[in-house]
Structure 1
Amino acid sequence: MAHILLVEDDLTYSRIVKTFLEKNAFEVVSTTKVREAQNILNSRKFDLIIADFRLPDGTGMELLQWAKAHFPKLQVILITHYSDIRIAIKAMKLGAFEYITKPINPDELLATVRESLSQKIEERKIDTPKEAAKIQKPVAASSYVTGESQEAEKLEKHIHLVAPTDLSVLVLGETGTGKELISKRIHEFSQRKNGPFVAIDCGALPKELAGSELFGHVKGAFTGALDNKTGHFESANGGTIFLDEIGNLSYEVQIQLLRAIQERRIRKIGGNKEIEIDVRIIAATNENLTSQSGDGVFREDLYHRLNEFTLYAIPLRQRKADLEFFVNGFLTESNERLHKSIRGLSPDVWDIFYNYDWPGNLRELRNIIKRAVLLSSGEKIEKEALPLELYDSSFLAERPAQPANPTFQPVASSPALANPAAGQDYKTQWKEQEKELIQKVLQDTRFNKSKTARILNMDRKTLYSKLEKYGLE
């Protein structure tokens, strides 16, 4: 029987969830605070934590980071409101297995709990050094989606351009935009493709152990160093190491990393022997490293070493022409994982997807598709299977709207509005901007008019009328 620690300060909610899980053959201990949870975890063994994000003496994020530092193999599921979506996605970057949103759907909760515990069992099977060594193998074909938008084609062109070289690459982009998939793509097209690809989330590394994790340590180097440890750089020898959230490394570890890049050698913590390494470095961040280097938080010389070539992961709201590619891929993946056979989305759901700005990007889309597949019983995903916040107008009104195309400037910034005397030019300027926007979306969709109409949030009849009006047929 699996043991679950439930951390929820809403006692009614906690009692409902606890009773439901116990009826499904789980043993559940509940508490209301971060500190209480830490004391309980120190006193007995658990397989899974389910924690609300907002707690009286802290947050579920703080509990997650503490738990991963002290019990690395303990699974964590975060409960959150949909307004905290960015926080929830960051939690997954820090090691949470999954997040679920309130109000909790029982089927979703049960499926997520079972999936997290089954993954824990799989991790136990590869717990020995012999089995772990099998993980360091050439990367198989990834779930990377190229897409057809101009932005996607430009990104793919740059990937193929830099992949055969040995340049260090810096991948910039918002959380959830697929920076690791881009990095794997580079590895797959490089001369190192038959070597290991080792991905490290620097944000999830405990600060006091980051040097040991990256470069290894010798027995007795510090309290708790009971054996020699091989670091990630040594494990990645002959291949590629991907350092995600690179800006989270401490200044001391940055110095060690700079030395490793410059000299192509590493030294284990507490060791005297120099170890030669042949590793290509790809780093990623959603932070402004230029600003951090100017503030002395991130070493400027390390920034330039990492930034020999820069790639930009595109936010989903700026590549909606590729939305169908991503949806179909995630739909296939979710059907396989959940043993379902959902064939597509209803027209209402497509409209919602194209009008939503996706603050959590691809990771958010993937989770929503998985949740909707779980909750759907028909052939297609219907509106009712989506979180209410995706299409609730009062919720959407709370967030500033994001333009679908970054090159399109809202008319509010035009001279015609700044100067009432120029109002007679307002309609002309509006038409020019509208024509330019329609042209751009048509090019991105390769003149797929149905897709263009959805992205522009207009029906096909209106689109055809505007195409004729602007001579874009």
Structure 2
Amino acid sequence: MMRSILIVEDDITFGMMLKTWLGKKGFEVSSVSTIARARKHIESQTVDLILSDLRLPDHEGIDLLKWMNEQGKAIPLIIMTGYADIQSAVLAMKLGARDYIAKPVNPGELLKKISEALQDSPSQVSSSQATSKVTNEGQHSYLEGESDAAKQLYNYVGLVAPTNMSVLINGSSGTGKEYVAHRIHQLSKRNNKPFIAVDCGSIPKELAASEFFGHVKGSFTGALTDKTGAFVAANGGTIFLDEIGNLSYEVQIQLLRALQERKIRPVGSTQEISVDIRLISATNENLEQAIEKGTFREDLYHRINEFTLRMPDLKERKEDILLFANFFLDQANKELDKHLIGFDTKASQALMNYHWPGNLRQMKNIVKRATLLAQSSFITLLELGTELLETPASSNTSIALRNEETEKEHILEALRQTGNNKSKAAQLLNIDRKTLYNKLKLYNIDL
């Protein structure tokens, strides 16, 4: 039986990191930010253990303990507190708190305290059980997200997948177009048949017909054996044509004919082969503009576009940014044999503020690099690097001026990354040298 933990924490970023980490350890975790919400949750839900910050916006963790005592709620509670409040934590233990742990939280120590607090329960989750659950979850290769944009996208995926409609997936590079194509196939009636992906951007024009339709031995120089093309390989299943806008006009004609007739002829063969495939295409180009320019056939466009799915950019899915960051961190931990918990507050804020031009692919690479570099339990700005301090090229406003609360930290980080070279630091921060000098004076930064 999965044990339930309630986190009472007003630091939303830290609360999310803790919730994600404990979820990976096999617990069912809920999180609230006030004592009032904690009371409502305890009254309406089963809670096996509570992790509560000492100081919260409406009351203190001690007040929650007093209320629980009055209500006869015998739920083990662990207080989380800064070193300055250790005395208050000791008082909380006198009032019935099971234990306390100082911030920044040591993950091994916290898991030990949780296990000790639950040790009298027969359904306690052991470390070995938790590790097993992480392994099982790690087999999944993607996270769909919880933002409105993600929910709408996968609602449409669920609607179109059982049909036989041709689907065109529009989206920027790195947004996960191939995953969506796979998901459509998995949810379709063809899921027990092949899924064949073809990268149209990497096929030379001269070999495209062979890649799609195959060839017979000796049909052209280099054709030393018979070759089965993608259409025959995908027969009965799904063929995914990634970056279809890169196909030459001549190849588009051949593709259109194959889709219309549901028959293909291998290069050099006189025999036609009937094929039954479901087509999913993807592009990061505007195919309607390509039609106007005469580089993409309009009749082919309508053939591949019976249903359109638009992949949202990561910057449009703010609610998903930290979810994906932690997901990629989990993957990187496994690949690199590391045991990081998450991202500290400043790193989390940088992840949220960044414009992610490379979308999920870029985030995965940045997180993996940061995981390799990290020396503590949390990834910091130091490991994320200057890339996340940069602003979009279209913006004339510096990142420092856009976020006054972290302005000094961004300036110091830029100087550190550039070896205190003020010209390069100013360029990195997208401000001129005079403005940088004024900021250095304002914040008493002496170099």
Normalised by the length of structure 1, the TM-score is 0.53
CA distance in 1, matches of 2:276, 2:330: 37
- 1:383: how far off? 1.1
Aligned to 2:233, which of 235, 252, 255? 235
Q: Report the AA paired with residue 150 of structure 2.
A: A
CA distance in 1, matches of 2:139, 2:237: 16
CA distance in 1, matches of 2:316, 2:366: 19
- 1:387: how far off? 2.5
The 5 Å alignment of 1:356-367 reads 356-367=354-365
CA offset digits 1:96-136 (Å, max 9, x no partner): xxxxxxxxxxxxxxxxxxxxxxxxxxxxxxxxxxxxxxxxx
The aligned residue for residue 378 of structure 2 is 380
Q: What CA RMSD, in Å, does the superposition of the two structures yield over aligned residues?
A: 1.7
- Find out whether 1:302 has 2:300 as its counterpart: yes
- Find out whether 1:396 has 2:394 as its counterpart: no
The aligned residue for residue 184 of structure 1 is 182
- 1:400: how far off? 2.6
Q: Is the 1:247–1:285 Cα contact (8 Å) retained in structure 2? A: yes
Aligned to 1:350, which of 341, 348, 351? 348
CA distance in 2, matches of 1:142, 1:300: 38
The 5 Å alignment of 1:187-226 reads 187-226=185-224
Q: Is the 2:214–2:229 Cα contact (8 Å) retained in structure 1? A: yes
The aligned residue for residue 446 of structure 1 is none
The 5 Å alignment of 1:58-457 reads 143-391=141-389, 395-396=390-391, 398-400=393-395
Relative to structure 1, the CA distance from residue 274 to residue 396 in structure 2 (aligned partners, 3 Å threshold; closer, same or farther) is same
The aligned residue for residue 94 of structure 1 is none
Relative to structure 1, the CA distance from residue 307 to residue 397 in structure 2 (aligned partners, 3 Å threshold; closer, same or farther) is closer
Q: Is the 1:142–1:185 Cα contact (8 Å) retained in structure 2? A: no
Show structure 1 runs of 5+ residues with no match.
1-139, 403-473
CA distance in 2, matches of 1:196, 1:336: 29
Q: Is the 2:322–2:351 Cα contact (8 Å) retained in structure 1? A: no
CA offset digits 1:7-27 (Å, max 9, x no partner): xxxxxxxxxxxxxxxxxxxxx
- 1:396: how far off? 2.0
Q: Report the AA paired with residue 396 of structure 1.
A: T
Determine what percentage of the aligned residue pairs are the same residue. 55
Kindly tell me the number of residue pairs found equivalent between the two proteins.
Answer: 260
Q: Is the 2:214–2:230 Cα contact (8 Å) retained in structure 1? A: yes
CA distance in 1, matches of 2:274, 2:252: 18
CA distance in 1, matches of 2:246, 2:331: 31
CA offset digits 1:409-455 (Å, max 9, x no partner): xxxxxxxxxxxxxxxxxxxxxxxxxxxxxxxxxxxxxxxxxxxxxxx
CA offset digits 1:317-355 (Å, max 9, x no partner): 000111122112211111111111111011110010111
Instruction: Specify the structure having the higher radius of gyration (Cα).
Output: 2
Q: Is the 1:163–1:186 Cα contact (8 Å) retained in structure 2? A: yes
Q: Is the 2:241–2:281 Cα contact (8 Å) retained in structure 1? A: yes
Q: Report the AA paired with residue 199 of structure 2.
A: D
Q: Report the AA paired with residue 400 of structure 1.
A: S
- 1:239: how far off? 1.1
Q: Is the 1:342–1:380 Cα contact (8 Å) retained in structure 2? A: yes
- 1:199: how far off? 1.2
SS in 2 for 1:287: coil
CA distance in 2, matches of 1:244, 1:204: 10
- 1:293: how far off? 1.3
CA distance in 2, matches of 1:336, 1:238: 36
